[in-house]
Amino acid sequence: MKSNPIWRTGDRIFLEGIAGTFDDVSVKDPTIVNVDGKWHVFYTGRDATKWRMGYIAGKELTDLKKADRNYMASLNGGSYFCAPQVFQLKSKKTWYLIYQSGLGATFSTNADINSPQGWSAGKAMGFTDGIDFWCISDGTKIHCFYSAQDGSFTIKKRSTLVADFPYKWSEPVVVATDTFEAPHVYKNKADGKYYMMVEDIRRYFEIWQASSLDGTWTKLNEKWADYANLIETNEHWTDQVSHGEILRSGIDEMCEIEDINHCQVIFQGVVNGNYADYGIIPYDLGIMQNY
């Protein structure tokens, strides 16, 4: 893969909501799929005190800024439910949201991704030792990668048979050390390998590689996507490259992308400032590409 790609980003595609709404401080942690020519984005919305999830959709990425915002009340998550991943489980033709809440690793289901209030109330997946949960399948098992919350600065993984998902998880194993959070894992169709994008605590993306989901992970680039190799083509809107998702070629649990060297990433960014608390950092969303 390219050892040091150049990234480009244009204007922000989605901003915080109006005063008094669930996302009036920031919009962050995006997950995205394209279904029948329409982009569906689920995200964390932050107000002064709560982390909750929202949904927007549009035919073009540039449409998202003016899309109707949907607070996902049906999840019944209280004041803390965030950092979603969305995919359709092939065997059931059912949509899953994987996210973190007071239950730990949490899931909700929906028969129709176009129905933001059709999601079931959150249910516990059975483990609580992390955040930023991300599921991906190799066809036999579904693996859940996540950021450990024990101070170890590690990424851990559990797995279960596809037939048992989203329950009966294995004990955790450490797959990456000396790193931080938001591990997003993809099958790269161009070379058949798996790539894990992880956010460093200094707000850039590392990139890791493995030949299989049960294999050994090797860090290929400490600063795969960093502000130092990001070109802003219009407005200056970010000094950070934070929590993002590579735009996938499919919609299911295989999490496939076409080519890691020719991809787009939806990510959160912000101009650095003297923010008193992480929760009030006014993140917005943008798109960057490495081609």
Count Cβ neighbours within 10 Å for each residue of 90-117 and write b for 16 or more, e otherwise: eeeeebbbbbbbebbbbbbbbeebeebe
pLDDT digits (tens, 9 = 90+) for 130-161: 999 999 999 999 999 999 999 999 999 999 99
Asked whether residue 266 is assigned to any structural domain, the reply reads: yes
CA distance readout (Å), 252 to 56, 113, 171, 177, 233: 19, 13, 25, 28, 33
- Give the CATH number for residue 148: 2.115.10.20
Asked whether residue 269 is assigned to any structural domain, the reply reads: yes
Asked whether residue 162 is assigned to any structural domain, the reply reads: yes
Asked whether residue 44 is assigned to any structural domain, the reply reads: yes
Q: Fill in the DSSP letter of residue 92.
A: T
Asked whether residue 253 is assigned to any structural domain, the reply reads: yes
Number of domains the chain contains = 1
What pLDDT was estimated at residue 24? 99
Cβ atoms of 69 and 43 within 8 Å: the answer is no
Which of 1-5, 70-74, 171-175, 243-247 bottoms out in mean pLDDT, i.e. has the lowest? 1-5
53 is in which domain, residue-wise?
14-289
Asked whether residue 6 is assigned to any structural domain, the reply reads: no
pLDDT digits (tens, 9 = 90+) for 184-229: 999 999 999 999 999 999 999 999 999 999 999 999 999 999 999 9
Asked whether residue 255 is assigned to any structural domain, the reply reads: yes
Percentages helix, strand, coil for the chain, rounded to the nearest 5?
5, 45, 45
Asked whether residue 33 is assigned to any structural domain, the reply reads: yes
pLDDT digits (tens, 9 = 90+) for 264-281: 999 999 999 999 899 999
